[in-house]
Amino acid sequence: MELDDLKQRWRTEAGAEPQTQLHAGWLDERVGHINREVRRRLRREAAIYVPIVLAPSALMLMRGVTGTRLVLVAGLTVAVSAIVATLWYSERRLTATPLDGSLREVLTEFHRRVEQAGRAYEIAYVGFIACAVAVAAIAAWRQTHSIVWVLLAISVGGLAVVWAGRSGRVYVDRMFGPYRAELSECTRELEE
């Protein structure tokens, strides 16, 4: 199917267009490419977090097993596992994006899933920082039994969470921006 044929289908009312499986080379190529690239990026991001868990955990436990170290390792593992699970789930959702229906529905649904993946990653990242703050506060208490150190850890941690929210948003926009732009370009090409 040529781009002109796709443009004609795009202009057809969404409700009037028959719900058939799309076999358009253009759509398969463009959306398929974006889908593969976003999924590859999500897998690469998830792989980054594995050493973040393994290296510090191994180093802490090599020095001996104590209650504080176990709490730190458990907190780090839970926080990083949440990010990895979020990235995995987002990648699975993109894999399951249906390519049946109207062109408008396919592009809209795929764009929506890319946006959801970005928001989920941002939330998981901020949650990771919040978990790190909680672990730091617990470690401060267990080491010093001083409320001053706990409050200091929470105060600095609160600033870290605010920073994580802002920097996470910028990072996610930079990470998913090219894919959003390419999807918008697909839509523009069809609307011309």
Domain ranges for the chain: 3-7+22-191
How sure is the predictor about 13, in pLDDT bands with cuts at 50, 70 and 90?
very low
The residue behind tokens 């802490």 is 60
Tell me how far apart the alpha carbons of residues 78 and 61 are, in angstroms, rounded to a whole number.
Answer: 16
Coil, strand or helix at 100: strand
Quick one: what percent of the chain has pLDDT higher than 70?
83
Q: How far apart are CA 122 and CA 93, in angstroms?
A: 17
- Determine contact, residues 182/34, Cβ cutoff 8 Å: yes
Q: What is the pTM of this model?
A: 0.71
Yes or no: say if 176 and 118 are a contact pair by the CB < 8 Å rule: yes
Q: Say if residues 37 and 96 touch (Cβ distance below 8 Å).
A: no
pLDDT in tens, 148-170: 888 888 898 889 999 999 999 99
Q: What is the pLDDT of residues 112-137, one digit of tens each?
A: 888 898 899 899 889 888 887 887 78
To the nearest 10 degrees (0 to 180), the angle between helices 25-62 and 103-144 is 10
Mean pLDDT of the chain: 79
- The pLDDT score that the predictor gives to residue 3 is 53
pLDDT tens digits, 132-146? 788 778 777 878 888
Q: Is the pLDDT assigned to residue 20 strictly greater than 60?
A: no
CA distance 106 to 159: 41
Whole-number pLDDT of residue 28: 67
